[in-house]
Structure 1
Amino acid sequence: MMDILRKSIINMDLSNFYQNKDCQKILNILNHTNETSRIVGGYVRNYLRNIETKDIDIATKLNPDQVIELLSKEKIKVVPTGLSHGTVSAFISDQIFEITTLRKDSNHDGRRADVEFTDDWEVDASRRDFTINALYMNYNGEIYDPFDGISDLNNGVVKFIGDPEKRIKEDYLRILRYYRFLSIYNSSIDNKTRKLIQKNADKIINLSSERVHQEFFKILSNDNSGKIINLMKEDGILDLIFSSSVNLKTYDRIIDIDNELFFDQDILIKFSSLVPDKIQKIEDLKCFAFSNKEKKIIDLLIDPNNEIKSYQSVKEVRAILYNFGIDNFTKLTRLYWAKDKKISNISQWRALLAMGQSWKAPKFPISAKDILLLGVPEGPLVGEILSEVEDWWIESDFIDDKASLFERIKAIVGAKI
């Protein structure tokens, strides 16, 4: 296959591309003697669809040491983020450029491959997953399109390069990536590819939890994820990665509620709606690698002790708001609204959300100093008493009477000392 540069679109508007001075600078430096480097993948794909993209990946014939040397000479910060794969990251202003040496992958085990550097664009393109991801753009805005990816892009087709089964077996994460791109382009799956995915689906659980987590959350972040999540359920993927049968009724209802109330879609609510009821601890979700922030919120959402009901009293709602905060209260309300089998409770759920927005939690008026002034010695007992008083204050619906609070403190202190 010849290294043919094709114009992507006749009279293509390159003004935004040329306005990215940092990108132009990187390409100028790397292409100092001849054309060794081109933009590749997502930036090119999105540029052709007039979608602004901040992240820019660059493919180059230069090896990582050469890239580091050239950029460092120009005072550009370079970090060797993935040398084993030929990748370094360059930092200019607020942009990050991932620069990867052209390579050939071999000895695949379904998760990783041995890497051999090359200077052949066709070889590098052939190792990639989909035709729409094997698009390269040079400094002049011309496109190298060896597998007719532009045509597939224009037609919303997600197609593996070469033999689909071979591509899948090289890296089983490509199954999830396939679903993600179907979601992005609202594409239909062809039956041949679908059968291959179903045949190899069980290999996904052998992938690292970090990779599965990252790819699955990218699927959830797409506004068109509903259709694809249902497809993944039909193909057996969801039940595999959640280690139990997934019910999609709550998930589908979440999408409807968010659209109805113009909520921004919340990935963690969407994820939690998929978690089977039998799983009540995040540790049981072995296929995912959650950040501490994600763990905290998902644990809160899937804990049945935190269930919110449509008929929750004002006093109960205030207690939940005080304990969890408005953001978490809203997440819980949206989730349990979606779980509610009684569709006619819409007005009650709306009222709960409105109540959360209208009430501001008061500050607890007692401190450790107040406890110490009553003669309680410093130590763990102070915290215990403070916690009991706060629980009583919440239970009394945040009584605005400091005298009553001190009477309660005295009663607790008298019982403990």
Structure 2
Amino acid sequence: MSDPSGLLSRLKDRRGLDELWALLPEARLVGGSVRDLLRGVPVHDLDLATSDAPEDVLKILKAGGVKVIPTGLAHGTVTAVIRGEPYEITTLRRDEETDGRHAVVAWTTDWAEDAARRDFTINAMSLDRHDVLHDYFGGIQDLADHRVRFVGEAGRRIDEDALRALRFFRFDARYGHGEPDAEACHAISKRLELIDALSAERIASELLRILTGPRVVETLSVMKDVGLLAHLVPASDVHALRRLLACQAPEEALLRLFALCHADWSGLGERLKLSNAERDRLRQFGDNTPTLGPAMSDDDLRRARFQQSLPVLLDRSWLTQAFALGARDKGWDVFRERLQQLPQPVFPLTGQDAKDAGLLPGPAMGAWLKAGQSWWLKEGCRPDGKACLAYLVKTSEMARKSD
């Protein structure tokens, strides 16, 4: 971790921040931006907090000529836009009431009180315009020690928002090292029923981010030990995911999700409320047709390319390799190279060709095109339009003679 002095000098461009501080001098940088400045990594989002009420922030920024959008007034958040860059500014808050999913908040002027409602110590720090770092719960030391801890009592933080159980593992995978915090794991194991009250969309968002994060197998193994993984995806198979990773497959969330849940994939998309495109992708993984393998001929590969998109075929090749071998295999690498080098096959006949052949739109035209496509596929997608027409003319003549 970097030296906590002179943090603001590490920003590549602080002009927008200085403009905001000229209008809101008591505002501070908060959350991930402070954490990343301490880590010495690029900062992408500059979020601020202020003791000013959100309505006052709107007035002050508008009077100062800053474009401002009331993106979340009920939660005290507005978004300032300076030279096309967004800056979220949130009024200091305290929780008046929580139900594990949502919180009723009230504004406060107490920075420590606002920090106390945040999830983890490494996310509860703030940095003012004088480059003074404010750390109420030991976040600096935890960041240096690669330790992720809840602010205050772990159980209380999870009671306020059960999604923090998943967020803990996502953050621990990225910023932690060694065994996860024992208090956090114990608190999570005792509150698994709270997960049931969360929306499937929120659960899916965190789970997919865990799956594409670092130390994924180690993280999922601990989640399994505390009972959380079975609560999210009952028929999980961490070993299958480990085999996929051993193949050095791409870091794609759906690919890893299917490997983890391949034994019970059919209802997964609905359970996690995934998009229709994501559900269709899982279905293609599960159907596993056409069968893929390094021994496929070029004709077979062309047929496969016509039947499914290249990205799906590549993903399926990783899954097939993982389930068959679970390790690197040059044969599969060559297979994927061949697959990508083949031009996308396009059936050369169209409805206009059918009209030119004397067919009217309707079942007859559809049957004519389908017959031509079936023959074209059988021939490895190689015949051109002229050859397909010749085949159809020949088969038509043969049919008439047989009648």
Select 1:59's aligned residue among 49, 60, 65.
49
Shift of 1:411: 6.6
- Residue from 316, 325, 338 that aligns with 1:332: 316
Task: Give matches, 1:166-181, under 5 Å.
Answer: 166-181=156-171
What is the identity, as a one-letter code, of the residue corresponding to 1:23? L
Contact 1:112 1:171 in 2 (8 A): yes
Note the C-alpha offset of 1:100: 1.2
Distance 1:217 1:16 in 2: 31
Q: Distance in 2 between matches of 1:106 and 1:294?
A: 38
Cα deviations by residue, 1:170-228 (Å, 9 ceiling, x for unpaired): 11111001101110124321333222211112321320112112222221221322211
Pair 1:16–1:297, CA change in 2 (3 A): farther
Partners of 1:58 and 1:147 in 2: CA distance: 19
Post-superposition offset of 1:58: 1.1
Tell me what 2:301 maps to: 317
Q: Is the 8 A contact 1:55 1:95 kept in 2?
A: no
Counterpart residue identity of residue 86, structure 1: G
Other structure's SS at 1:229 match? helix
The correspondence for 2:20, drawn from 26, 29, 40, is 26
Alpha-carbon offset, residue 82 of structure 1: 2.0
2:300 maps to 1:276: no
Q: Using the alignment, how far apart are the partners of 1:195 and 1:11 within structure 2?
A: 36
Partner in structure 1 of residue 78 of structure 2? 88
Q: Which residue of 2 aligns with 1:252?
A: 242
**Structure 1 pair 392–99 and aligned structure 2 pair: CA distance change class (3 A):** farther
1:154 maps to a residue whose letter is A
* Contact kept? 2:247, 2:328, Cα under 8 Å: no
Structure 1 portions without partners, runs of 5+: 1-7
Q: How far did residue 107 of structure 1 move? A: 2.0
TM-score, L = length of structure 1: 0.87
Code of the aligned partner of 2:301: V
8 A Cα contact 2:147 2:181, kept in partner: no
Distance 1:168 1:105 in 2: 13
| Letter paired with 1:40 | V
- In 2, the alpha carbon distance for the partners of 1:131 and 1:174 equals 13
Instruction: Name the residue aligned to 1:215.
Output: 206
Counterpart-to-counterpart distance in 1, 2:136 and 2:40: 21
CA distance in 1, matches of 2:261, 2:312: 18
Say whether the 8 Å CA contact 2:121–2:137 is kept in structure 1. Answer: yes
Residues 11-410 of structure 1 mapped to structure 2, 5 A cutoff: 11-12=5-6, 14-17=8-11, 19-31=13-25, 35=26, 37-187=27-177, 188-242=179-233, 244-258=234-248, 264-284=250-270, 286=271, 288-305=272-289, 307-340=291-324, 342=325, 346-379=329-362, 381-383=364-366, 385-410=368-393
Is the contact made by 1:64 and 1:87 (CA closer than 8 Å) also made in structure 2?
yes
Deviation per CA, 1:359-378: give whole Å up to 9, x if none: 11233221211011111113
Per mean C-alpha deviation after superposition, the further-off stretch among 400-409 and 315-324 is 400-409
CA distance in 1, matches of 2:60, 2:396: 71
Q: Distance in 1 between matches of 2:396 and 2:214?
A: 55
C-alpha change, 1:302 and 1:85, in structure 2 (3 Å) is farther
| CA shift in 2, pair 1:161/1:11, >3 Å | closer
Aligned pair in 2 of structure 1 residues 15, 392: CA closer, same or farther (>3 Å)? farther
- Structure 1 residues 13 and 195, CA, compared in 2 at 3 Å: closer, same or farther? closer
Distance 2:290 2:230 in 1: 25
Paired residue secondary structure (2:354): helix
* Cα distance in 2 between the residues matched to 1:382 and 1:49: 65
Residue identity matched to 1:267: A
How far is 1:10 from its partner?
5.5
Unpaired segments of 5 or more residues in structure 2?
none
Quote the Cα distance in structure 2 between the aligned partners of 1:150 and 1:345: 41
Structure 1 residues 271, 23: CA separation in 2 closer, same or farther (over 3 Å shift)? farther
Alpha carbon RMSD of aligned pairs, Å? 2.5
Query: What does the per-residue CA deviation read over 1:85-137, in whole Å, with 9 as the maximum and x for residues that have no partner?
Result: 11122233342222111111122111111111111111101111111111101
* Displacement of 1:159: 0.9
Higher mean displacement: 305-314 or 53-62 = 305-314
Alpha-carbon distance between aligned partners in 2 of 1:382 and 1:140, rounded to the nearest angstrom: 76
* Greater Cα shift, 58-67 or 189-198: 189-198
Using the alignment, how far apart are the partners of 1:223 and 1:39 within structure 2? Answer: 27
Q: Is the contact made by 2:148 and 2:168 (CA closer than 8 Å) also made in structure 1?
A: yes
Identity %: 30
Q: Distance in 2 between matches of 1:343 and 1:10?
A: 44
| 1:276 partner SS | helix
Instruction: Name the CA shift for 1:344/1:72 in 2 (closer, same or farther; >3 Å).
Output: closer
Does structure 1 conserve the Cα–Cα contact (< 8 Å) formed by 2:29 and 2:47?
yes
Do the aligned residues in 1 keep the contact of 2:235 with 2:263 (CA within 8 Å)?
Answer: no
